[in-house]
Structure 1
Amino acid sequence: MGTSEATPGQPEGAARQLPAATVARLTIYLRALTSMLADGTERVSSESLAEAAGVGSSNVRKDLSYLGSYGTRGVGYDVAHLSRNIAQALGLTHEWRVAIVGAGNLGRALAGYAGFESRGFDVVALMDADPLLIGNEVGWLRISDVADLEAVLERTRANMVVLALPSAAVQQMCDRVVAAGVRSILSFAPVVVQVPDNVTLRKVDMATELQILAYHAQRAQEQDLERALPKDLPGAG
């Protein structure tokens, strides 16, 4: 379970490049730790954290070693301390102000999602080009005209942008967002978007995820059928 000493030459909480798989798992650990804090849990073993996160305990120990070792052998990890350090490593101790471009069904649903704020993301703007939507309110947000994108980003000090737009409009809007100085973008359009090397673009393609689910579901059905076949049939087994 490690010791309470930091990795030699690596100050506790110091920034370093983390593997993508580790970053993804850290978000899951943080969610599990947040739940434990709410339940009053003060310490957790790597095995218990692994079970809560749905990963192997060796993955937990390896991932947390990138941050410096915060566990004590035989005692486990201090839940509050570990939670703070993971949040720091993920950049969640900074102020993240999110602007959503696209006030259709998806954009409005995202704007109204309460989970963003609880995870450190403040939705500060919602924009659209439809005159019928501009000026309407979604929660406490008033939909702004996307023609004023640059001014809205500057006024709200947004440093992240979510693009909830039709595929045909994404690249042009992304170019405007980048030109306005935003370097962190999330797109829901199932298209390739070109951005400069100093911009981080993440894509959420729900159709692709459903196709992957369909593949795994088909494989599971095939395996169930194989197990159900009598072993003495020609070609079975």
Structure 2
Amino acid sequence: MSGSTENNATTDQAASGSSGLPGRLPRPAVGRLSLYFRELHRLADQGVSHVNSKELGALVDVSPAVVRRDLSSLGTIGRRGVGYAIDTLIDQIGLVLGSDVQWQVVLVGVGSLGNALLRYRGFERLGFRLTAAFDLDPSKIGNQVGGVSVWDAATMVGKLAELSPDLAILAVPAEQATAVASDLVASGVNGILNFAPTTLRLPRKVAVVNVDLASELQRLAFSVQNQ
């Protein structure tokens, strides 16, 4: 899921491990790696074992040269006539993006969008485990959505102390977003994916990605109008 991003922390940083993978990558490259990762999983599910730069580039609408540059930054070189081993690419990209780590995630706001996010099955395979959801609506509290329990938002701070999540997804109205985000940060959450139509201003140590769906539709409409 793509959107407008603003990062207080350097989310274009990637953890460097003993494999010698890069510690920093440009933000656009990180975005492309995430797209490659998604398509590589799809190819693997179809039983495909190798892919070349032209094929992978066509799947995410970038040139083969860009694919080769991105993958060479991981220390990965394709073999002429064979391409890249998909399982190796999945492992390497997953290591850079942190998908080899099990990230604990909570969601705040179980409206239509939050409900859909809880039911999305793509998070788990990428290393994101939704452990709890919070809402103020009594009709939702105590239920499970997509296997995730919905808790009373009034008890959120205490529950966060118990769960110690790494990340949070914010799907609340704009007027509630800042207060909820502040509670999340005070509870030790290090990154927030914000779907509220407002820009969060939080300590620089906290990574924030703002996804404004209406703004993205405006960008799309502008692109269509100016084709």
**Which of the five TM-score ranges fits, normalised by the shorter chain?**
0.7 to 0.9
Give the Å deviation of 1:136. Answer: 2.5
Q: Which runs of 5+ in 1 are unaligned?
A: 1-9, 221-237
Residue 228 of structure 1 corresponds to: none
Question: Contact 1:13/1:89 (CA < 8 Å) preserved in 2?
Answer: no
Residue 168 of structure 1 corresponds to: 175
Task: Select which of 59, 63, 78 maps to 2:66.
Answer: 59
Question: Contact 2:22/2:73 (CA < 8 Å) preserved in 1?
Answer: no
CA distance in 1, matches of 2:138, 2:49: 52
Give the Å deviation of 1:15. Answer: 4.2
TM-score scaled to structure 2, two decimals? 0.87
Deviates more, 1:70-79 or 1:50-59: 70-79
CA distance in 1, matches of 2:157, 2:96: 30
Residue 36 of structure 1 corresponds to: 43
Considering Cα pairs closer than 8 Å and 6+ residues apart, tell me whether 1 or 2 has the greater RCO.
Answer: 2
Task: Select which of 183, 198, 211 maps to 2:205.
Answer: 198
Task: Select which of 143, 147, 162 maps to 2:150.
Answer: 143
Residue 226 of structure 1 corresponds to: none
Give the Å deviation of 1:11. Answer: 6.3
Deviations 1:128-158 (A, max 9, x none): 1223322233232221111221222232332
Larger Rg: 1
1:14 aligns with 2:21: yes
Question: Contact 1:70/1:78 (CA < 8 Å) preserved in 2?
Answer: no
Task: Select which of 32, 55, 76 maps to 1:48.
Answer: 55
Q: Which runs of 5+ in 2 are unaligned?
A: 1-16
Deviates more, 1:31-40 or 1:87-96: 31-40
**Percent identity over paired residues:** 38
Runs of 4+ in 1 over 4 A off after TM superposition: none
CA distance in 2, matches of 1:183, 1:219: 39
Question: Contact 1:13/1:88 (CA < 8 Å) preserved in 2?
Answer: no
Give the Å deviation of 1:40. Answer: 1.9
**Which amino acid in structure 1 is aligned with residue 88 of structure 2?**
H
Question: Contact 1:70/1:82 (CA < 8 Å) preserved in 2?
Answer: no
CA distance in 1, matches of 2:92, 2:45: 17
Give the Å deviation of 1:52. Answer: 2.2
SS of residue in 2 equivalent to 1:41: coil
| 1:51-130 equivalent positions in 2, closer than 5 A | 51-130=58-137
CA pair 142-40 structure 1, distance change in 2 beyond 3 A: closer
Task: Select which of 158, 176, 183 maps to 2:190.
Answer: 183
Question: Contact 1:98/1:125 (CA < 8 Å) preserved in 2?
Answer: yes
Question: Contact 1:164/1:188 (CA < 8 Å) preserved in 2?
Answer: yes
Question: Contact 1:166/1:189 (CA < 8 Å) preserved in 2?
Answer: yes
**Which amino acid in structure 1 is aligned with residue 159 of structure 2?**
V
